[in-house]
């Protein structure tokens, strides 16, 4: 398990992923996250309220084969590879391609916020048996709206990002705006995600 606190600093975010660990640059309520979600066997939990990132391993029971993980007591969103879930939150996809454009609009789009959906077989945790049709999953909630931030097609897969800003409304009523900037590191390894955010989102 890796626990990383958000740090306060100014200036440009340098040497992204040099250490290949979760980190964050933030000034006031606006910042940029770098998240190592490259492992299928982990969830990465992000807490915007207390500015922490925590990597949680997914284990598989040797007898039942059931995947297990223990969520932190406090968290806001979690990322698995490219999938995203919320902690009893809801989400919308906006038409905007930057948080600045969303802010310039002066208000949120008039669309309904969508809750997470429970899936038994959507979150893949082990692809080692894929050639024999033995893919292992972890039952979990996933937010289908935010899940649209990246799609894949073909084999080997080609990835396409939506370039849209997403807004997540947490259980306490506060909002965060998120724009997923990149899905791989400088070496081209998938699952190293950078995103810009504003929390709390205000107009």
Model pLDDT for residues 32-54, shown as the tens digit of each residue: 999 999 999 999 999 999 999 99
C-alpha of 26 from chain center: 17
In this structure, are residues 80 and 176 in contact, taking their beta carbons and an 8 Å threshold? no
In this structure, are residues 105 and 173 in contact, taking their beta carbons and an 8 Å threshold? no
Helix intervals (H) in the chain: 99-105
Region 109-124 average pLDDT: 97
The pLDDT value given to residue 19: 43
Region 168-178 average pLDDT: 97
Region 179-199 average pLDDT: 95
pLDDT in tens, 61-101: 989 989 999 999 999 999 999 999 999 999 999 999 999 99
Split at pLDDT 50, 70, 90, the class of 18 is very low
Strand order in the sheet with 52-57: 2-5, 52-57, 42-47, 77-80, 83-86
Distance between CA 24 and CA 5 in Å, rounded? Answer: 8
In this structure, are residues 191 and 183 in contact, taking their beta carbons and an 8 Å threshold? yes
The pLDDT value given to residue 130: 64
């Amino acid at each position: 398990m890796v626990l990383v606190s958000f740090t306060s600093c100014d200036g440009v975010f340098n040497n992204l992923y040099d250490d290949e660990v979760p980190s964050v640059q933030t000034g006031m309520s606006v910042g940029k996250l770098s998240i190592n979600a490259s492992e299928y066997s982990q969830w990465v939990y992000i807490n915007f309220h207390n500015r922490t990132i925590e990597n949680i391993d997914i284990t598989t029971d040797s007898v039942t084969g059931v995947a297990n993980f223990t969520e932190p007591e406090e968290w806001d969103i979690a990322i698995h590879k490219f999938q995203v879930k919320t902690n009893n939150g809801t989400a919308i996809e906006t038409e905007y391609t930057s948080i600045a454009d969303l802010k310039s609009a002066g208000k949120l789009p008039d669309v309904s916020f969508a809750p997470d959906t429970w899936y038994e077989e959507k979150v893949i945790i082990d692809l080692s048996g894929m050639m024999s049709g033995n893919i292992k999953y972890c039952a979990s909630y996933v937010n289908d709206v935010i899940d649209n931030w990246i799609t894949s097609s073909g084999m080997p897969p080609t990835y396409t990002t939506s370039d849209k800003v997403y807004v997540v409304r947490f259980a306490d009523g506060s909002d965060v705006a998120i724009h997923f900037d990149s899905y791989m590191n400088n070496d081209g390894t998938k699952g190293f995600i950078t995103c810009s955010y504003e929390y709390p989102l205000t107009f």
